Structures are given as structure tokens and as C-alpha cells.
Amino acid sequence: MYPSHSRYTKDHEWVEPKGDIAVVGITDYAQNHLGDVVYIDLPAIGKVLDIHATIGSIESVKAVSEIFSPVSGEVVEVNSHLNNAPEVINQDPHGKGWICKLKMKNKADLDVLMTAGDYEKYLEGLEG
Amino acid sequence: MSYIALSDKDKKEMLERIGVASIEELYGCLPDELKLGRRLRVPEAKSEPELERSFDALAARNTYPRFLSFLGAGVYRHFIPATVDYLSARSEFVTPYTPYQPEVSQGTLQIIFEYQTLVCQLTGMDISNASLYDGAMAAAEGVLMAQRLNSRNKVLVARSLHPQYRETIKTYTRNLGLVIEEVGFGDCGGLKSAELEAKLGPDVCGIIVQSPNFFGVVEDVAKVVDIAHRHQALAIVAVAEAVSLGILESPGRFGADIVCGEAQSFGLAPGFGGPFLGFMACKKEHLRQLPGRLTGQTKDVDGRRGFVLTLSTREQHIRREKATSNICTNQAWCALRATIFLETLGHDGLREMAVQNLQKAAYAAETLAKVKGVRLKFSGRFFNEFVLELPKNAQAVLDALKAKGLLGGLALERYYPELRQDVLLNVTEAHPKDDIDKLAVALREVLR
């Protein structure tokens, strides 16, 4: 069960709104398919991102994937703990494995994203 | 691995197996207008004695060994211990390539790992890649790396950086929108630090400086690094004469972020067109942006030491267009020679070689500057190269010396139009004192 207070993208990012702030991470499905995460390239604080802009990249033993911004906004905080412990993304992708916090430019960006229920149905489609 | 060409019989069998009558039929699907329509212009096959004669004739066109040479400028003549030729000629090692199935070639990977270790020790850096093609490429990759690391769009290049390195940087960055600005040199021959300070700003990703620089002058690397870092720019230090690392403080100790350069001096004879050996090293925190291959040490399932290619996610075969570079290999055989060279000389041997270079160049500069009308151009401290200002056009003097069997150095006018009367000379441990005295005598005669 995916947390119901978050919204989801087709690229397997989650975003949890907290007032003006959006916390962003990758989903359990994403970490599971990447395998052991060995490195994450975090964005610089102050970086301004459009929807779907590249936040950074995430690297597992044999692959690299980009992380895309689910909403538009400015990076206000990054989870620098991941620099030393990238495996937290595998262990707790929806909690301690959060990647960055954005100050949202337009909260309406959230409306087009999937709810937990939508995302679970979307995953069923992928598995099928 | 031996290479044996296909015999006519092999070809016939292969064609039969796939059900095609001839090579022409095999390529029959190609449109006629793309076909050459004639045989390739390749010389006829030669017998072994004919082949030897034609190679002898080709080799005889190389006049370099007939001259007493003081040419340097990025290519240096040094002693090469016999172990280097002997070991590097072993067939197991004779490949210029990183193996595509790397882990089956443990010996090759171990050599690369040792090479990387030596480069780190000499440069004072944390991580070295498995080598690049040459120093000019390494300098260009250094600039690209700095730009990736802090996303700024201007790079400062010391005008005392090797002119061909500067040219290569321009070629590599031509389509990237990167602005290149040069920083001049002063009376000492070193970078003008006030000009550097003035040109640095929030748009500058890094500064690349060479030490010893193109004129042989040892730059104040600590100062350059300090100025760069105060502006959050990266300091890239290029080393074109690797033997200098045997005696000079390592760029890493001065705080350099990236060190790149040329290691031809380590066991590679000066050849027309190479081969050369580019090296590149960086601080650990910049590892993800380092281009090229990396060998790492690990343990197998039984706990035995083994070597692997590692951190390949930076590279093109995995990262595609977002890779750090389009290099997918290294200069393995040249790196092997450098490794054998350094392991034969050892710490003390390399230092001894560097000391001899320093002393002989100092003697040569002192002796030649005593010739009437000749003076040392720059006041800065130098390693094994220095610039002499002559009383007349440098090229004319060099031509007269050549007629006497001497290659008296490089006329700098070609690269620095304002230096019309200046010549760059190189003296290494391979020059006995007599050679230096001979040059002084000849120069005196030519200028009389």
C-alpha cells in the first residue's frame, strides 16, 4: 500500500505536499527495480526546476536513472544524509529515503498527478 | 592473441556455409553508387627482404638521431631502463586496449591499478583514471570536467599553457558554448596573478595552469589554487613534463582539484606523432565526473585479491549521451611502460633523475647566457626548460645551428608572435656536460 498523503508520477516519483513545500522521493516500486542504490546525485539548494526537469540522478550497481521533478519550484532542502548512506532509499523509500524539498511555484501542479490508488492501478498495468 | 588473416579456402567455406557464391554477391544489396568500382590503392605484397628494405628507407628519413637535440616543448628525451622494453614486449601485454571482457585479464587490470596508484602518489590526488590518449586531451577533459562540476560557462586558460593543449581545449569545447579567456604571463614567465584575480568572477568554472609551464617556469600553484578557490572556481593543474613530479611539490598538496598531463617522459621515446600517454587525477569528491576507465581492487568469493573495472556508470556504454566523456578505452600499453619505468626507478631513482635535469638545465642556462648578446628571458625558477632571448631572429639562428648538426631548441615566434628573438631549450639527464658545452661553442660561432 502506497501512502495516501502523497501523489505519484508515471516515472515513479512521489511527492508529499506540506503547505507550500513538496517533499520528493522515488517509490518503492522504483527502488525495487533499480536494485541496490550506490549513489545519488542531489540537486543544489536554490536550483529552480520546471515540471519534469531533471532533479538529479540515482545510480544502482549497473544502471543510472534520472529523477524528474513532479512539480515546479525551488529546491530548499536536500537529504544530504543520502550522500553517505544511499541504501536508505532501498530501506525506506517513502520515509527516510526522501530526496529533496521544493518550494512549490504552483500547487495546481499536484492536481494532474496520480493518487495512491491510481498509482497502484498503474503498477498493476505495468506488471500485467 | 595472434592475428591470422583468412585464407581463400576459409573465405570459400564461410561463403558456402551462408549460401552465398561470392563476396560480391554478399554485398550485392549495397546501391551501386556507394561502391568504389575499383580496387583499393594498396601497394602490392612484398617479400620479407623487400619489406625490410622499404622500412629501412622509411626509417632513414628520420634525421633526428643525427642531430644533437635540445628540443623539448612537450616531448622529452629521457633514459629508458632496459626492463621497460623487455617486459612491455611480452605478448601478454602487447595491446593498446582496455579489454572488453576485463575481468578475465587480471594481469592487465593489475597493471592499470598499479599505474593509477603511481599517478595518485605523484600528483598527490585521491583518484586517477586508467589513462587517456595524451596530455592535450587530458587538459581538455579537465576543462570539461570543471564545467560539469559547477555548471559555469567560462574557463580561464593560462597563456603559458602548452599552445597545442590550448588548441585542443578550443576544439573540444567549440560546440559547448563555453567561453575561453586567456590569462597572460609576466616578466618572470609565470601567470600574472593580478590578471587572474581580475578575470575571475561568478561565471568562471575553473582555471587551467601548467607547471612547469610551456616556458619551463615553475608556477606558483599554491597561489593560483587559492585565488581560484576564493571565487568558487576549480583549479586544474596541467603537467607536461612528468619527470618534474620527481622533485616538485605535488599539485595535490597545493590543493589542486584536477591534475592532468602528459607522461611520455615515463618510458616512451620521443616519436613523431607519439605514442603519448595522458594522465588525469582528481579529488575523491569529484570522482563521479572523472572521465575514462577506472580499475578497482576487490575480493572474489573466496576472499582472494582481484581487480575489476569499476564505476562504469560514468561511461558511455551505460550512460549513453550523459556519459562524462566519449572515451571508452585507455592508453594501456603506454601506461604499462610508464608503470614499469616508475617501478624500476622507484622513488629515489625518479628523484635522482629529476635532480639531474634541474642541475643540467641550470648549468646550460648559465653557460648559454654568457654568450654575447644572449640572455635568459624570464626571471622565474625553471625545471628542465628555459627561454633564451637572442640578439637576432631566433629561427635564423636555429637554422645556422642546424647546419652544424644541432637542434638548438624551438623558436617561440610561431606560438607567441611577440617572442621573435626567443628560443625554448630543453636539457635532461640525457645530455652530458660536453653536449651543453658544444651548444655554447656553436651558438657563439653563429652569433659572431
By C-alpha distance, the chain A residue nearest B150 is A44
Rounded to an integer, what distance in angstroms lies between the CA atom of residue B65 and that of residue A95?
71
Other CB atoms closer than 10 Å to residue B363's CB: what's the count? 15
* Residue pair A95/A82 in contact by the 8 Å Cβ criterion: no
- Residue environment code for B67-87, b if the CB has 16+ CB neighbours within 10 A, otherwise e: ebbbbbbbbbbbebeeebeeb
Cα dihedral sign for B341, B342, B343, B349? positive
Q: DSSP E strands: which ranges in B44-198?
A: 68-69, 127-128, 154-158, 179-183
CATH code, residues A7-106: 2.40.50.100
Residues in A touching B318 (Cβ below 8 Å): 62-64
Rounded to an integer, what distance in angstroms lies between the CA atom of residue A13 and that of residue A51?
12
Q: pLDDT digit string (tens) for B195-246?
A: 999 999 999 999 999 999 999 999 999 999 999 999 999 999 999 999 999 9
Q: Give the CA-trace dihedral at B23, B29, B34, B36, to 10 degrees.
A: 20
| Residue B52 DSSP code | H
Residues in B touching A49 (Cβ below 8 Å): none
Residues in A touching B288 (Cβ below 8 Å): 39, 41
Q: Do B318 and A41 touch (CB under 8 A)?
A: no
Residue B63 makes CB contacts below 8 A (sequence gap 6+) with none
Instruction: Determine the 3-state secondary structure of B234 from DSSP.
Output: strand
Nearest CB partner across the interface for B288, out of A39, A62, A63: A39
- Label the pairing between strands B234-239 and B204-210: parallel
Residue B98 Cα, gap to closest chain A Cα (Å): 19
| Residue B111 DSSP code | H
Rounded to an integer, what distance in angstroms lies between the CA atom of residue A33 and that of residue A70?
20
Within 13 Å and on the Cβ side, how many CA atoms surround B65? Answer: 6
A120 touches chain B (CB under 8 A): no
Q: Residue A119 class from Cβ within 10 Å (0-12 exposed, 13-18 middle, 19+ buried)?
A: buried
CB within 8 Å of chain A, chain B residues 236-295: 288
Chunk chain A into consecutive blocks of 10 residues (it has 128) and report each block's average pLDDT, rounded to whole numbers. Answer: 94 95 96 92 92 92 87 96 95 96 94 95 86
Q: Pick from A59, A61, A82 the residue to mutate for testing the B interface (most B CBs within 10 Å).
A: A59
pLDDT of chain B, 448 residues: tens digit per residue:
467 888 999 999 999 999 999 988 999 899 999 988 898 999 889 999 999 999 999 999 988 888 999 999 999 999 999 999 999 999 888 866 666 678 888 989 999 999 999 999 999 999 999 999 999 999 999 999 999 998 899 999 999 999 999 999 999 999 998 999 999 999 999 999 999 999 999 999 999 999 999 999 999 999 999 999 999 999 999 999 999 999 999 999 999 999 999 999 999 999 888 899 999 999 999 998 999 999 999 999 999 999 998 888 788 777 777 788 878 778 889 999 999 999 999 999 999 999 999 999 999 999 999 999 999 999 999 999 999 999 999 999 999 999 999 999 999 999 999 999 999 999 999 999 999 999 999 999 999 8
Instruction: Determine the 3-state secondary structure of B385 from DSSP.
Output: strand
CA-nearest of B220, B209, B280, B276 to B248 is B220
Within 13 Å and on the Cβ side, how many CA atoms surround B116? Answer: 23
* Residue pair B359/B351 in contact by the 8 Å Cβ criterion: no
A48 touches chain B (CB under 8 A): no
Q: Which three cell numbers stand for residue B411?
A: 623558436
B21 touches chain A (CB under 8 A): no
Residues in B touching A63 (Cβ below 8 Å): 313, 318
- Please state whether the predicted TM-score (pTM) of the whole model is above 0.90: no
B317 touches chain A (CB under 8 A): no
B150 touches chain A (CB under 8 A): no
By C-alpha distance, the chain A residue nearest B319 is A64
Domains within chain B, CATH numbers bracketed:
64-79+346-447 (3.90.1150.10), 82-340 (3.40.640.10)
Q: Give the CA-trace dihedral at B436, B437, B438, B441, to 10 degrees.
A: 130
How much is the ipTM here? 0.71
Sorted by where each begins, the domain ranges of chain A are 7-106
Q: Which three cell numbers stand for residue B177?
A: 558554448
Residues in B touching A64 (Cβ below 8 Å): 313, 318-319, 322
